[in-house]
Amino acid sequence: MLTAEAERLQFACTGQLLDFIVQDKFKVKYLRVVLSGREHWVKLSKQARKTLDSALVPGCWLEIVGRKKICKKTGQSQLKADFVQRIPAPSAPETPACVPQARSVKAETPKTKILVCKKSDCAKQGGEAVCGAIARYLRDYGLEDSVEVKMTGCLKQCKKGPNLVVMPDKTHYTKIAPREIPALLDKHCRERQETPTATRTLVGAYQS
């Protein structure tokens, strides 16, 4: 069990569902998932439980955004999901004899997805204006079909709103302003390059 003396971090990841952990009168409290080759129990927040897709089955692949608590004394970690969504299974790795050319790799690049917190606190701090700036950018550059914008439940950073997460880069932005959207989307949508899979939390660089 984690103590109060714990570090809290944002995380975003993809993994395969193994099973559901049901407690308290048939409520799904945890998901057993494989993340980066290791099994984890991911606790569901109330918001995540309410919006959990009833069609999920063991073996499917998930995109999960939430919070990670790490005990500073023991190093023990606990994952809690605020957003869970089913995604297509990744392609099977190619054999050495069938190494894809650069053009094929580019064609299989995952679709960019922007998760925007829709809770009232974020909306009051400019969330609607940020959504408007994103929509204008995608329309102006003809990216409406290649970039998906999804409104989500609370991303647990409302005091630092507006909040958004860019997938599959797994980059979390807080206190983002509408005027910063063009540069942000230039980076993730028009000039996308290979990036590390680890989650990056960018706060100070985008504070006004």
- What is the pLDDT, as a whole number, of residue 94? 55
Cα radius of gyration (the chain): 18
Architecture of domain 6-87: Beta Barrel (2.40)
- What is the pLDDT, as a whole number, of residue 5? 54
- What is the pLDDT, as a whole number, of residue 206? 37
Nearest 10 degrees: Cα torsion 172, 83, 150, 36: 60
Those residues whose C-beta lies under 8 Å from the C-beta of residue 58, and which sit 6 or more positions away, are 17, 18, 19, 20
Which residues of the chain carry a pLDDT beneath 50? Answer: 1-4, 97-98, 103-107, 193-208
Q: What are the tens digits of pLDDT across the range 14-69?
A: 999 999 988 877 788 999 999 888 899 999 998 898 888 888 999 999 999 999 88
How many angstroms separate the CA atoms of 61 and 123, rounded? Answer: 30
- What is the pLDDT, as a whole number, of residue 126? 83
Q: What are the structural domain ranges in the chain?
A: 6-87, 110-206
- 6-87 and 110-206 in the same fold: no
- What is the pLDDT, as a whole number, of residue 62? 94
Q: In angstroms, how far is CA 55 from the centroid of its own chain? A: 20
How many angstroms separate the CA atoms of 69 and 159, rounded? Answer: 19
Cis status of the peptide bond prior to 162, with omega within 30 of 0: yes
Give Cα separations from 44 to 49, 64, 111, 161 (angstroms): 6, 10, 25, 22
DSSP assignments along 73-129, one per residue? TT--EEEEEEEEEEEPPPPPPPPGGGPPPHHHHHHTPPPEEEEEE-SHHHIIIIIHH
Q: Out of 3.40.50.1970, 3.40.190.10, 3.30.1360.30, 3.40.30.10, which CATH number does the structure's domain 110-206 have? A: 3.40.30.10
How many angstroms separate the CA atoms of 127 and 28, rounded? Answer: 31
Neighbours of 161 (CB within 10 A): 23
How many angstroms separate the CA atoms of 115 and 134, rounded? Answer: 11
Those residues whose C-beta lies under 8 Å from the C-beta of residue 3, and which sit 6 or more positions away, are 71, 73
- What is the pLDDT, as a whole number, of residue 61? 94
Neighbours of 1 (CB within 10 A): 6
- What is the pLDDT, as a whole number, of residue 19? 92
